Amino acid sequence: MNTEQWLGLVTGVLFGFLLQKGRVLRFDKQVGAMLLKDMTIFKFMLSAILVGMVGINLLADTGIITLGHKPMNVGAIVIGGGLFGAGWAIMGFCPGTSIGALGEGRWHALFAIAGMITGAAVYAELFPLMKTTVLAWKDYGKIDLSQITGVAKWILIPLFWVGCLALFAWFEKKRL
Amino acid sequence: MNRKRTTDGWSPYLAGALVGLLAIASVYATTVWMGKTHYLGASTTFVRAAGLLERTVAADHVAQNEYFTKSKVVIDWQFMLVVGIFFGAFVSALSDNSYRLEHVPPIWRKRFGPSIGKRAAGAFFGGIVAMFGARLADGCPSGHGLSGMMQLSVSAFVALAMFFGIGVVVAHFVYKRRTA
């Protein structure tokens, strides 16, 4: 294995370890969130985002790393995001957590993984069609929130923190 | 011996915050060692896995496919990251006695019973739809949800709203038995 592969493996082991310790790999945690009964995955994700957001933007502002926004292609994000949501509800895993769920013994994740590999193969076949239809509708490109709101990034970040902390307080109060 | 060591794991706030630190360390490490900033993600790996499998039976077809060519069918950094998730979760589950050979998850069982066939069909077809959507949207809850939100990308906020919004609607439709 080369450096790149080792780096990926080590990062993945740590990521998988933390996903499992946070108990977010399970079908019941993921579907529980969609049934609005258990907000564990949101507590986990938003905590990761709050911390990562500060560090990544500091590193980007100092020129150490480069940001890599995914394009705001309306058809792709809205239709693709909706299809993902529908499949996610039935499968009960997302791509990363399906692999982790298999690691903690939830072997039915194998069917989900097989389905997702099939789905990727289907997409590869239909990509030319998508390119001339859904992907061709409207693309706003690689834009961030401060560009569309006109509010500086370092004002948005503290606001996001305040909003999430208030949400966490509400989750705990409601025992979600 | 403490037999009640089957814990509820760590606080999701703590584990999540540590993933935030991991994400920061990871963008730094990939930039330094690979010369290009890489963000945590998972779904492109499924394209590569599909390409690797298809290549064993139809190598020419894979070589000619535009999407496989664009995604590059190789075992790269992200592919190994996804492999690593398996081992990390395995070690963590063993460390606190939470490894379970689960056939059918509780919420599914409550609605559809203990049939493995039904669960397999749901997971498989759900997987096809979800991955088609993730490739169209160019990301999943890792790439959009974590990495995109951390960068304040507009696409990530809209994608996550769609993932979860439609997820809530479909989950209520599928798992809530209507009281007739």
Beta-bridge partners for A139: A73
Q: Do residues A97 and A25 make contact, with C-beta atoms less than 8 angstroms apart?
A: yes
Cβ atoms of residues B132 and A117 within 8 Å: no
Q: Could you tell me which residues are beta bridge partners of residue A144?
A: B153
Mean pLDDT of chain A: 97
| CB nearest to A12's CB, from B76, B80, B169 | B80
- The pLDDT of residue B8 is 83
Angle at alpha carbon of residue B28, lines to B24 and B32, rounded to 5°: 170
Residue of B nearest to A55 (CA): B24
| pLDDT tens column, A135-163 | 999 999 999 999 999 999 999 999 999 99
> What's the pLDDT at B1?
41
Q: What is the pLDDT of residues A74-129, one digit of tens each?
A: 999 999 999 999 999 999 999 999 999 999 999 999 999 999 999 999 999 999 99
* Burial letters A142-154, b for 16+ CB under 10 A, else e: bebbbeeeeeebe
Nearest to B174, CA basis, from B126, B140, B130: B126
Q: For position B6, what pLDDT does the model report?
A: 54
Across the interface, whether the CB atoms of B23 and A28 are under 8 A apart is answered no
What is the average pLDDT across A56-79?
96
Share of chain A above pLDDT 70, in %: 100
Collect all residues of chain B within an 8 Å Cβ-Cβ radius of residue A77: 137-138, 155, 158-159, 162
Say whether B166 and A142 touch across the interface (CB within 8 A): no
Give residue A64's pLDDT band: very low, low, confident or very high (50, 70, 90).
very high
Closest CA relative to residue A121, chosen from B59, B70, B144, B135 = B135
Question: What's the pLDDT band for A9 if we cut at 50, 70, 90?
Answer: very high
pLDDT at B38: 96
Residues of chain B under the 50 pLDDT cut: 1-4, 179-180
What ipTM describes this predicted complex?
0.96
Chain A closest CA to B129's CA: distance in Å? 5
